[in-house]
């Protein structure tokens, strides 16, 4: 059974540590985690938290006239990858934001996740850039 539901910031930390911050000095806690308009979602596979995403109110200046949110800390536990859980989680996140009147969603996508976001209908905005300790990223966006 698969279930997607709201979770607390602290619930995201184990997967963030293991999948996104392993072997780096950066914290698994993110600025904005505790903001009242931040949303954290978890996807549960057979009762176990298998994937996470945090949605934070943030803007790309070029699109300033639109209601925007940023995808942060999206990850699926390695033992649950290749099951379509990331796709389902992102679709649910987009649907919730669209229902709330958000028009534009964006992220800093790791190069290894580029194909995933392209398949989900995201477009690249600008050149590849480097995030220290994490590696190359693309800014990507989608109109909801």
Tell me, what's the pLDDT at 28?
A: 73
The domains found in the chain, sorted by start residue, are: 2-143 (3.40.630.30)
pLDDT of residue 21 exceeding 90, the answer is no
Q: Is 100 left (phi over 0), alpha (psi -120 to 50) or beta?
A: alpha
Residues 107, 108, 112, 117, Cα dihedral to 10°: 20
pLDDT digits (tens, 9 = 90+) for 27-76: 677 788 999 999 999 999 999 999 999 999 998 887 776 789 999 999 99
Tell me, what's the pLDDT at 66?
A: 73
Q: Band the pLDDT of 132: cuts 50, 70, 90.
A: confident
Tell me, what's the pLDDT at 22?
A: 72
What is the rounded distance in angstroms from the CA atom of residue 90 to the CA atom of residue 6? 13
Burial classification of residue 79, based on how many CB atoms lie within 10 Å of its CB (0-12 exposed, 13-18 middle, 19 or more buried): exposed
Tell me, what's the pLDDT at 25?
A: 61
Query: Which residues, 6 or more positions from 110, have their beta carbon under 8 angstroms from its beta carbon?
Result: 134, 135, 136, 137
Phi and psi (nearest 5°) for 45? -115, 115
pLDDT digits (tens, 9 = 90+) for 67-107: 899 999 999 999 999 999 999 999 999 999 999 999 999 99
SS3 111: helix
């Amino acid at each position: 059974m698969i279930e997607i539901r709201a979770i607390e910031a602290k619930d995201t930390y184990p997967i963030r540590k293991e999948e996104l911050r392993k072997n780096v000095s950066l914290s698994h806690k993110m600025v904005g985690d505790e903001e009242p308009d931040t949303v954290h979602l978890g996807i549960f596979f057979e009762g176990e938290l298998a994937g996470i995403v945090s949605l934070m109110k943030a803007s790309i200046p070029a699109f300033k006239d639109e209601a925007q949110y940023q995808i942060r800390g999206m990850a699926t536990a390695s033992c649950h990858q290749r099951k379509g859980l990331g796709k389902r989680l992102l679709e649910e996140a987009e649907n919730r934001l669209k229902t709330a009147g958000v028009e534009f969603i964006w992220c800093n996508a790791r190069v290894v996740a580029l194909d995933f976001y392209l398949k989900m209908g995201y477009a690249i905005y600008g050149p590849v850039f480097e995030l220290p300790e994490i590696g190359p990223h693309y800014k990507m966006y989608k109109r909801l």
